[in-house]
């Protein structure tokens, strides 16, 4: 299915947020996620279904000071 990942169209085969994150290379990364502008906490990723056309934002925490 085609979704938007950080503003870019991508083709993915996974159906859950966890599966898509693994497919995109974020399997073990510490990231924040949002689907269509709504934050998705880590415990909900395995049950969050994506639909064609959804917008997935993946943000990594910034370090520094």
Instruction: Say what the pLDDT of residue 64 is.
Output: 67
pLDDT digits (tens, 9 = 90+) for 1-43: 999 999 999 999 999 999 999 999 998 899 999 999 999 999 9
The superfamily in CATH containing domain 2-59 is Beta-grasp domain (3.10.20.30)
pLDDT of 63 over the 80 cut:
no
The residue extents of the domains of the chain are 2-59
Burial class (CB in 10 A: 0-12, 13-18, 19+), 43: exposed
Q: What's the pLDDT band for 65 if we cut at 50, 70, 90?
A: low
Nearest partner of 26 among 42, 4, 37, judged by Cα: 42
Q: Is pTM, for the whole model, over 0.85?
A: yes
């Amino acid at each position: 299915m085609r979704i938007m990942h950080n503003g870019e169209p991508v083709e993915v085969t996974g159906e859950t947020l966890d599966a898509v994150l693994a497919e995109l290379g974020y399997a073990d990364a510490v990231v924040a996620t949002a689907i269509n502008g709504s934050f998705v906490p880590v415990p909900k990723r395995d049950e969050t279904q994506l639909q064609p056309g959804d917008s997935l934002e993946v943000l990594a925490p910034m370090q520094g000071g």
